[in-house]
Amino acid sequence: MKDVDDFLDYLKYQKTYSLYTITSYENDLKQYLEYLKREDLNYKDIKYSDIRFFLMYLKKEAQEKSSSISRKLSSIRGFYNFLINKEKIESNPFVLVNGPKKEKKLPRYFEYNELEELFKVPDTKTPLGQRDLLILELLYATGIRVGELVSIKVSDINKYDKTIKILGKGNKERNVRFGEYAADILNLYLKEGRESLNKKNCEYLFLNNLGGKLTERGVRYILSNIVKRTSLNKNISPHMIRHSFATHLLNEGCDLLSVQQLLGHESISATQVYTHVSTDRLKEVYYNSFPRAKRSHIDIK
């Protein structure tokens, strides 16, 4: 449908959303339009009662989680706002629709010893092994998003200051820092692994085995294969490493505003979720370490 195609182009070229985000919007809208077709409804003539039945369909028939329903509503709401701006419709029928209450979920993250196990998997004697370890080290050292990671160009890196220029959400630039561990594998990869992989004279830092730019999907595939070669019973995503970066900083005493800037969050509220993780960690440390935190088995008479 042309309106949907135009909306997706708008997200790509004007909002500069990542391919992963755009694909999510596309899938959400595809499901919505298929439902309308089944119910013989026109997307430009939707009423509030139609939306209620659509929400019932998502919950009962499609058995979507509350978080998924909320995301789909956000995608559809954005689509209708786009149609208003293009003067295709007069009002947004989804503007007053509230999604289901979200389940409160704390960010999943790795303990430091678990990350160490991941770091030991890649074979740094091979070009792909050097690349894969650098992916892990940079994700953890900087807390950058996977879309930001694959967009790094060699020219964005300042090896002397140990900083990387990152193009974040909304085309906002920021500089992130990395430490000695990441610097060591970066130098090795640039000297050996990347030279071997760079068959197409590509400007990007991370390359696939054909010499082209590595994709976000490619990074997820690499991380999934790495975790399968460990004893960890966890699914891995690039965002879990980002969560680990933020959580470990707070656990070591870093202030929230600094973590916000390091993560590239526009709002402090997006960063505050990590304080819950940190608080849980402090609670665990307290009860395991403080001698009078738990009642002994000896009864006081």
Which residue is listed with tokens 């999510």? 24
Q: Where are the beta strands (DSSP E) in the chain?
A: 157-158, 163-167, 173-177
The single residue of 131, 242, 243, 248 carrying the catalytic annotation is 242
- Name residue 164's beta-bridge partners: 157, 176
Q: Does 131 qualify as catalytic in the annotation?
A: no
Distance CA 225, CA 217 (A): 13
**Residue 119 phi, psi (nearest 5):** -65, -25
Q: Which of 131, 145, 194, 243 is catalytic?
A: 145
Q: Work out the average pLDDT over 173-190.
A: 95
CA dihedral 21, 17, 137, 183 (to 10 degrees): 170
Confidence band, pLDDT 50/70/90 cuts, at residue 7: very high
276 is catalytic: no
- Is residue 217 part of the annotated active site? The answer reads no
Tokens of 143: 């807390």
The first and second tokens of residue 115, run together, are 């990350």
Domains of the chain plus CATH, in order, are 2-85 (1.10.150.130), 112-286 (1.10.443.10)
Q: Reply yes or no on whether the pLDDT at 277 is more than 90.
A: no
Quick: pLDDT tens for 101-113: 665 666 788 988 9
What are the residues whose beta carbons fall under 8 Å from the beta carbon of 230, sequence distance 6 or more?
Answer: 117, 118, 121
Confirm whether 297 is a catalytic residue: no
Active-site choice (71, 165, 169, 213):
169
At 235 the pLDDT is 82
CB atoms within 10 A of CB 34: 10
Write down the catalytic residue from 25, 32, 140, 274.
274
User: Is 213 designated active site?
Assistant: no
| Whether the model pTM is above 0.75 | no
Confidence grade of residue 293 (pLDDT, cut at 50, 70, 90): low
239 is catalytic: yes
